Chain A
Amino acid sequence: MTPSRSFRIARAAVLLVFAAYFFVPLLAMFDFSTQVRGSAPGRTWDNWTFMFRDEDLRSSIVASLLLALFTVVLMVALLVPTMVWVRLRVPRAKKLIEFLCLLPLTIPALVIVVGIGNVYSWVTYLLGDSALVLTFAYVVLVLPYSFRAVDASLSGIDATTLSEAARSLGAGWFTVVVRVIMPNITGGILGAAFISVALVLGEYVFASLLHFDTLPVAMAALYKSNGPAAMAAALASMLLVSVLLVGLTFLSRDRHRRNQGASS
């Protein structure tokens, strides 16, 4: 047996072990979610279609998807111009912004919820009790991850020179940010967006303790009454996030190919 062959076998074995570690639970979930109730033979899609039939679950899915969308929009609208502005105009403030953005990572979610509980009493009083008001809290929650993704992307381009070149050609600050800087950090923005979507679709503590019906909260409640349907919803949620992350990988690779060497 040649060393390269043994290496290939070892590599395949490791891959198989990790694949099993990740996929066996998913297959088990799929198996459980498609079983017919009782011990009857055969398969059923009832638990999967339940997501669309059950009014509460459906509305929680819609709420979570809208929450993910609004969180991404607000995060991009707040974070990207701020980070570009800080990098171009007040680089001394970068450490402060970084500290503020990473802060939510260091504070347990439970503590944050307790802290903002009273604030949310006012938020719901002023804006209504729709789950969408969680957008504000979720923007804070996703800041650490979004900051890292956008910051890494910004570091990959010479933002100062690009903005000065654009300004010398007659571009105002809005044009500089939207037409010159943002197209060159799309990979980072997409990364931040997809990570935010994944976080929002899986967030339970905020929503549960602030009494909003989002998908994770509904799934937890459903699990007590209809385990297979909750399993189907959980698996669907994971599949959606996986598709998003795979999409991100391809988009990032495509942009990297287009921009490679451009900032050298």
Chain B
Amino acid sequence: MTDQTSRGLAVALSDLTRAYGTVKALDGFTLDLAPGELVALLGPSGCGKTTALRILAGLDRATSGTVSVGGKDLTRVPASKRDMGMVFQAYSLFPHMTVIDNVAFGLKMRGRDGATRRGRAGDMLELVGLGEHADRYAHQLSGGQQQRVALARALAIEPSVLLLDEPLSALDAKVRVQLRDEIRRVQIEVGTTTLFVTHDQEEALAVADRVGVMNAGRLEQLAPPAELYSAPASRFVGEFVGLSNRLPAHVSDGVAAVLGRQVPVLPGSTSGAGHALVRPESVSVVADAAGTATVATVMFLGPLSRVTSTLADGTDVVAQLASSDALRLRPGDAVRLEVDPVPVLVVA
């Protein structure tokens, strides 16, 4: 295998807008990637994440805004001249070529000689663990293997940026997790700046250095996964990423009163009456005959279980507990709910 060195370049998408008639798929979208970083774009269908990736790839054109890589403006540069490797959601191997010819295709376009092409393509196939399958055709491979080959093909050209457009969405759950980990391993090994578009939050949180959450063509928040989860910057992020309870709260002097407990609030919280977004793991359920809440359901999820309780006003509260604690509770039990004193976002 050839020596891999970090060759990541900084990427800057500045104030991108993409309009289809009156509908804006992107609306003032700005995103910066540091060299060698893997950023995942996460968001619901139609939020503009794939549009942003396609504009970076040169496969779509922004109505306004600029795209630069390594300080070079690529806004008007065609896709074929951008030096970016891309893995698509749909299987995209060329059916009439063998695996090794697919991987070597980009090198052929760059005028490399046959021996160099085969050597580099072979190295890339080894990197993704498919060296034995070099002479097969796409239809002789499984979906996961096809996406591995597509990854090798994208990396073979030593791209300045690697673009992954929901590459795992067509695969079954087990293969998805395997390939997700493999993509991260390979990306770290190669050091290419990578933009990963997905609608699967677990995938985004697991592989990315930073995750960008998009909504209606805009970037709502860009942060490391743990920060995104524990300190959402907006109601949308708090509700979209992970599970959240919306509990009645009252904020004064930077402290919110939630279920009778005082908890600090995150920047961006509203003041006065509102709703606190509280994670299930921040809620404790204590069996108490005098408690004002009633257990509705107990859902066993392995080492953890999810307990849903109903407050006197009818609000459902989900708590995530160790199964050993949760399985002591029965639907109908009277319980007391407590909120851990971790910062919460309070929205109107």
* Distance in Å: Cβ of B147 to nearest Cβ of chain A: 12
Report B113 CB to chain A, min CB distance, Å.
16
CB distance from A155 to the nearest CB of B (A): 14
B162 to chain A, nearest CB (A): 11
Q: A168-B86, A170-B80, A170-B106 are in contact. Are A259 and B91 (CB under 8 A)?
A: no
Assuming A175-B109, A264-B91, is B80 touching A165 (CB within 8 A)?
A: no
Could you say which of B80, B84, B86, B92 contacts A162, with CB atoms under 8 Å apart?
Answer: B92
Question: CA of A244 to CA of B43 in the docked complex: distance in angstroms?
Answer: 54
Least Cβ distance of B164 to chain A in Å?
A: 12
Report if A166 contacts B (CB, 8 A).
yes
A167-B106 contact in complex given A161-B92, A262-B139, C-beta closer than 8 Å: no
Question: Out of B80, B96, B157, B163, which one reaches A167, CB within 8 Å?
Answer: B80
A172 within 8 A of B: yes
Complex Cα distance, B79 from A105, in Å, reads 40
Chain A residues lying within 8 Å of B86, measured Cβ to Cβ, are: 164-165, 168
Chain B: how many interface residues by the 8 Å CB criterion? 32
CB distance from A111 to the nearest CB of B (A): 42
Q: Which of A164, A184, A261 contacts B59 (CB 8 A)?
A: A164
Q: Is B57 an interface position by the 8 A CB rule?
A: yes
Please state if B95 and A259 are interface contacts (CB–CB under 8 Å). Answer: yes
Which of these, A166, A171, A184, A261, contacts B96 with CB under 8 Å?
A: A184
CA A170 to CA B105, docked complex, whole Å: 9
Complex: A175 Cα to B81 Cα, angstroms:
14
In the complex, whether B137 has a CB less than 8 A from a CB of chain A is: yes
Taken together as a complex, chains A and B put the C-alpha atoms of A186 and B93 apart, in Å, by: 17
Chain A residues near B153: list those with CB within 8 A: 165, 169
| A168 (CB) vs chain B CBs: closest residue | B86
Please, which residue of chain A has its CB at the minimum distance from the CB of B54? A164
A165-B78 Cα distance, complex, nearest whole Å:
13
In the bound complex, residues from chain A placing their C-beta under 8 Å from that of B150 are 165
A147-181 at interface with B (beta carbon < 8 Å) = 157-158, 161-162, 164-172, 175, 180
Q: In the complex, which residues 52-98 of chain B have their Cβ closer than 8 Å to any Cβ of chain A?
A: 57-59, 78-86, 88, 90-96
Nearest first, the 9 closest Cβ-Cβ pairs linking A and B are A262-B95, A169-B106, A170-B109, A261-B139, A165-B92, A168-B86, A183-B96, A167-B79, A262-B139
CB<8 Å pairs between A and B, sample of 28: A157-B95, A161-B88, A161-B90, A162-B92, A164-B86, A164-B92, A165-B94, A165-B153, A167-B78, A168-B58, A168-B59, A168-B80, A168-B85, A168-B154, A169-B85, A169-B109, A170-B80, A170-B106, A170-B110, A171-B80, A171-B109, A172-B80, A180-B94, A183-B96, A258-B137, A259-B96, A262-B139, A263-B95
Interface residues of B (CB under 8 A from A): 57-59, 78-86, 88, 90-96, 105-106, 109-110, 137-139, 150, 153-154, 157, 163
Q: Taking beta carbons and an 8 Å cutoff, which residues of A are in contact with B?
A: 157-158, 161-162, 164-172, 175, 180, 183-184, 258-264
